[in-house]
Amino acid sequence: MSERRSPLAISDAEMERLARERVADHFHDECGVFGIHGHDEASHICYLGLYALQHRGQESCGMVASNGREHIAHRAMGLVADTFGEKTLGRLRGRHAIGHVRYSTAGESLLRNAQPICANTDGGPVSIAHNGNLVNAVAIRRELEGRGAIFGSTSDSEVLLHLLARSREEHVEDRFIDAVSRVKGAFSIVLLTDDALIGARDPSGFRPLSLGRLGRAYVLASETCALDLIGASYERDVEPGEMVVIRRGRLRSLRPFTREVPKHFCIFEYIYFARPDSNLVGHNVYAFRKELGRTLAREHPVAADMVVPVLDSGNAAALGYAEQEGIPYETALIRNHYVRRTFIEPAQSIRNFGVKVKHNAIKSFLDGRRVVLVDDSIVRGTTLVKIVGMLRVAGAREVHVRISSPPTIGRCHYGIDTPTREELIAHDHSVDEIREIIGADSLGFLSLEGLRRTAASEVKIGICDGCFSDNYPIPVDSETETPQLSLFRAMEEEPDPE
């Protein structure tokens, strides 16, 4: 066997450096949106909805409520539960509300980029919460700036509000149609006016958006897990290219995009991003991940004593793999769920503290055993370098890594945060080189064909797999990668929690 690099070769300092290198002014973020129309406790319900969508973004969150005349907004850095207390929710008065959770790369994790974004237009207040990335936002922004527009954030979503405010149409829904007709890329949007809640999805349908009912109220949410929490019924998905306008207890469905385009639902929502208890396009995420695990086992079987998931991202695929192969499933790797991004490190006395603070291996289960370690994806490879090393230190005799998606070779341009192409380990390393780097005895990725076949038989909708295939359905404005936005940087303090 060729010489193996030390399984713990990447130091915590190196990890920090890699993380810092990701800091760049680019429009890349992951988000969740929620909206409710016609409920006496709109802000409280919206809070619960955002709470259920927290996995879609942990850096900032916000909510806007409408009392039929004016909008009241609250945005903050941090988690939903730390941001909204009884006092704040009490101030967010009104029967309609929208909310947003956001994660962005560190350079842009600023309060001014938190959503919803609000504006007073000549047609009244308008607030918008957006999930997805617009690939021509930089060009539109430059054009608008050239005509005197002043932007308050570096978020791509703000261009929508500017376009809407400048539209010459009379009614707000027509103004919104004007705006979304100009942008390209991915959007699932909830928009609040003084009296209406509007939901819209781009014609390709990259990002999810579900419609539910809570009594007589209408609810829009990125994922159905939010409907479950508030006890709302799932009615249907907002269709790709559809716009729903909810006003005075009635819903109107519009089809503002004249051109039919192929559907491209993001397959990574199924693989990693969405919560397993959500249904996307009517299909359960957990069931899909298990099916990926089964396909993976058929493609890359191996003799082993146990299948161990990387918690929590590898759980369902590992279970599918174990069932398919008839190998016991063991959570022999335990995860601390309370780890935050930063923690106070002790002096050098504890080796590999960074790994151990998040995961710990159960030695008595692993000693002398042959392990299949399953995760959903490899991005930079740093997680697996550490975990494979930890399993070996715990005594595992063999570690066979199985990944329930193909090698990630390109970044996502439509709303999943991925590092630059150069940072993706699969971009310039073969499968065997990656195996060497992570220190595994064998490594198997789900094939692109296997993924496509599983998707075709399970969800029956066109998918986007650009990050695995390098086949991007909507061409990307090259400036989106490095927009070089001219910014002024101000100190923005996080408000004290209540």
> Would you name the residues annotated as active-site residues?
31
Measured in whole angstroms, how far is the alpha carbon of residue 260 from the centre of its chain? 26
How far is Cα 474 from Cα 257, in angstroms, rounded to an integer? 16
Q: What is the nearest approach in angstroms of ligand AMP to the Cβ of residue 113?
A: 18
Contacts with ligand AMP in 233-292 (CB under 6 A)? Answer: 272
Q: What is the nearest approach in angstroms of ligand AMP to the Cβ of residue 185?
A: 17
Q: Contact at 8 Å (CB) between 366 and 331?
A: no
Return the residue matching tokens 């149609």. Answer: 177
Q: Out of 127, 155, 210, 377, point to the residue binding ligand AMP (CB under 6 A).
A: 377
Question: Residue 62 is which amino acid?
Answer: G
Site string for ligand AMP, 292-331 (x = CB under 6 A): ------------------x--x------------------
Question: Is the Cβ of residue 88 or residue 105 nearer to ligand AMP in the bound state?
Answer: 105
- Decide: is 424 part of the binding site for ligand AMP (CB under 6 A): no
Question: Is the Cβ of residue 313 or residue 480 nearer to ligand AMP in the bound state?
Answer: 313
Q: What is the nearest approach in angstroms of ligand AMP to the Cβ of residue 211?
A: 26
Q: Contact at 8 Å (CB) between 181 and 209?
A: no
Piece in contact with ligand AMP (CB under 6 A), picked from 163-171, 187-195, 380-388, 451-459: 380-388
Question: Is the Cβ of residue 140 or residue 274 nearer to ligand AMP in the bound state?
Answer: 274
Name the strand (E) or helix (H) holding 236. Answer: strand 233-237
How far is Cα 368 from Cα 8, in angstroms, rounded to an integer? 20
Task: Give residues with Cβ within 8 angstroms of 342, minimum separation 6.
Answer: none
Q: Out of 102, 380, 400, 402, point to the residue binding ligand AMP (CB under 6 A).
A: 380
- Decide: is 407 part of the binding site for ligand AMP (CB under 6 A): no
How far is Cα 402 from Cα 189, in angstroms, rounded to an integer? 36
Q: Out of 58, 60, 88, 383, point to the residue binding ligand AMP (CB under 6 A).
A: 383
Return the residue matching tokens 């065997």. Answer: 432
Question: Is the Cβ of residue 102 or residue 247 nearer to ligand AMP in the bound state?
Answer: 102
Piece in contact with ligand AMP (CB under 6 A), picked from 217-225, 232-240, 299-307, 378-386: 378-386
- Decide: is 7 part of the binding site for ligand AMP (CB under 6 A): no
- Decide: is 105 part of the binding site for ligand AMP (CB under 6 A): no
Q: Which long-range contacts (CB under 8 A, 24 or more apart) does 231-239 make?
A: 234/210, 234/279, 235/210, 235/211, 236/210, 236/211, 237/208, 237/209, 237/210, 237/211, 237/281, 237/282, 238/188, 238/199, 238/200, 238/201, 238/209, 238/210, 238/211, 239/201, 239/205
Q: What is the nearest approach in angstroms of ligand AMP to the Cβ of residue 437?
A: 10
- Decide: is 375 part of the binding site for ligand AMP (CB under 6 A): yes
Measured in whole angstroms, how far is the alpha carbon of residue 74 from the centre of its chain? 22
- Decide: is 131 part of the binding site for ligand AMP (CB under 6 A): no
Q: What is the nearest approach in angstroms of ligand AMP to the Cβ of residue 325?
A: 21
What token pair was written down for 117?
A: 């974004």
- Decide: is 437 part of the binding site for ligand AMP (CB under 6 A): no
Question: Is the Cβ of residue 15 or residue 73 nearer to ligand AMP in the bound state?
Answer: 15
- Decide: is 133 part of the binding site for ligand AMP (CB under 6 A): no
Q: What is the nearest approach in angstroms of ligand AMP to the Cβ of residue 480?
A: 17
Q: What are phi and psi of 56, to 5 degrees?
A: -85, -5
Task: Give residues with Cβ within 8 angstroms of 142, minimum separation 6.
Answer: none
Tally of CB atoms within 10 A around 126: 27
Residues engaged in binding ligand AMP (CB under 6 A): 272, 310, 313, 375-383, 416-418
